[in-house]
Structure 1
Amino acid sequence: MSKINKFFDGVVKEFKKVSWPTQKELVDNTIITVVFSIILSLFIFGVDQLYSTVLEVIYQ
């Protein structure tokens, strides 16, 4: 049982060392991630459509 207590004491100490982001930083980073993901998915969709069109023309 003492090993378990020691483990959780260590976890609590490590969590106190963590530099947690502020709410504004968290929201800003989330927005950046979502926007970048949308842009990247649109780019991949566009490239896929272009390849599909080119291959369709070649194989007809």
Structure 2
Amino acid sequence: MANIGGFFKNVVSEMRKVSWPKRKELTRYTIIVLATVVVMAVFFAVVDLGISELFRWYLEL
């Protein structure tokens, strides 16, 4: 049990050293991540649609 207690003591010690982002930075990073996810989702949806249409066209031949 001493190892577990020491582990959590070290975790708390290390968490105090962490440099947490300010609210403005966190908001900016969150917007960037969400925008990137939306752009990538749209990109892959278009690519998927294109590949699906190519297969449909090929199978009709």
Instruction: With the length of structure 1 as denominator, give the TM-score of the two structures.
Output: 0.86
Aligned residue pairs total 58
Gaps of 5+ in 1: none
Structure 1 segments of 4+ aligned residues over 6 angstroms from their partners? none
Instruction: With the length of structure 2 as denominator, give the TM-score of the two structures.
Output: 0.85
Asked if residue 36 in structure 1 is aligned to residue 36 in structure 2, the reply is yes
After superposition, where does 1:39-50 map in structure 2 within 5 Å? 39-50=39-50
- The letter of the residue matching 2:34 is V
Identity %: 36
CA RMSD of superposed structures (Å): 1.1
